[in-house]
Chain A
Amino acid sequence: MPREKVFVQPHESGPADLARILDARSDIALARDVANHLRNGTVQPNNFLTNAVESDPELAEYIVDHLRAAYDELLNEPVPDHLMELLAHLYDAEDKS
């Protein structure tokens, strides 16, 4: 049975496409920059608080304080024994081989 013809509108290359192409290019350049930074150990500390341009810096500080406090509670939870045992097992197996 012959396939039905489907007519597709020609794709118009407009500003959105251009933005996407430029974005992809800048991603490649950024990825290269990141790799160089990581290789050279020149990564800058993040300016999580000082970069809070759109929001109130005091508010941003308050949010991050609470985020860190909540996260610290997770960090301070004891690591389950089975994870430590797994690590010891992996290490022993490596040692024996």
Chain B
Amino acid sequence: MSSEAVRQGLISFLPNLRAFAIALCGDADRADDLVQDTMLKAWNSLDTFEEGTNLRAWLFTILRNTYFSECRRRRREVPDDNGEYVAQLCVPPPQHGCVDAQDVLRALSQLTDDQREALILVGAEGFAYEEAAMICGCAIGTIKSRVNRARNRLSELLGIEAAQDFGPEPATEAVLLRASASKSG
């Protein structure tokens, strides 16, 4: 594959690679290092990329493998040894029916690594299950169950267990009910 084509691919997928890296490791600086390593590895192994196959999936595979290799190296590192960070993550969203991006990202960080990557690849990046399975090096059924478990866990962490949990807040609902009653009456 020509270096120009890969360069164009890297430029167009750079925001996605960075977003995936941040969502995986939860730290923008570390994510930038991951993206940088991914770019260097991709550039140095251009000859292993099969032209006509999926460049985006190839780049995501490199990033994901780099992340997990780094995690294995850092296995002994415990950044939150007093549990303060985790305790902070356990705080439910303050407003009923209101979930903001930070809540979602905090909840994402509490999923297991394999659930988080499966959910991001399929749910946020829109990869097909087959592609996500290829990237993660596992069976399609495994990806499906990880996505399902991750989705359920995310709804638990966000404090949403049923559809009525994310309807209008009680005060708004009461106003709406009164308005519809007065209209029909």
Asked if A45 meets B155 with Cβ closer than 8 Å, knowing A34-B133, A70-B104, the reply is no
Closest to A78 in B: B15
A90 at the interface (CB under 8 A from B): yes
Among listed B64-72, B77-85, B160-168, B170-178, interface-contacting one: B160-168
Closest to A61 in B: B163
CA distance in complex: A83, B158 (Å): 34
Q: Are A71 and B19 in contact (CB under 8 A)?
A: yes
B62 at the interface (CB under 8 A from A): no
By secondary structure, the A interface counts as helix
Q: Are A83 and B36 in contact (CB under 8 A)?
A: yes
B110 at the interface (CB under 8 A from A): no
Q: Are B104 and A74 in contact (CB under 8 A)?
A: no
B89 at the interface (CB under 8 A from A): no
- From A23, A62, A67, A84, B123 is in contact (CB under 8 Å) with A67
A66 surroundings in chain B (CB, below 8 A):
99, 101, 104, 158
A94 surroundings in chain B (CB, below 8 A):
3, 43
B contact set with A: CB distance below 8 Å: 3-4, 7, 10-11, 14-16, 18-19, 22-23, 28, 32, 35-36, 39-40, 43, 53-54, 57, 99, 101-102, 104-105, 108, 119-120, 122-134, 138-141, 144, 147-148, 151-152, 154-155, 158, 160, 162-163, 166
A sample of 25 inter-chain contacts (CB < 8 A) reads A30-B141, A35-B134, A37-B130, A43-B130, A45-B128, A46-B128, A46-B129, A46-B132, A52-B151, A54-B148, A54-B152, A59-B163, A62-B166, A63-B155, A63-B158, A67-B154, A74-B23, A75-B16, A77-B15, A80-B32, A83-B14, A87-B10, A91-B3, A94-B43, A95-B3
A contact set with B: CB distance below 8 Å: 23, 26-27, 30-31, 33-35, 37-39, 43-46, 48, 51-52, 54-56, 58-60, 62-64, 66-71, 73-77, 79-80, 82-84, 86-87, 90-91, 94-95
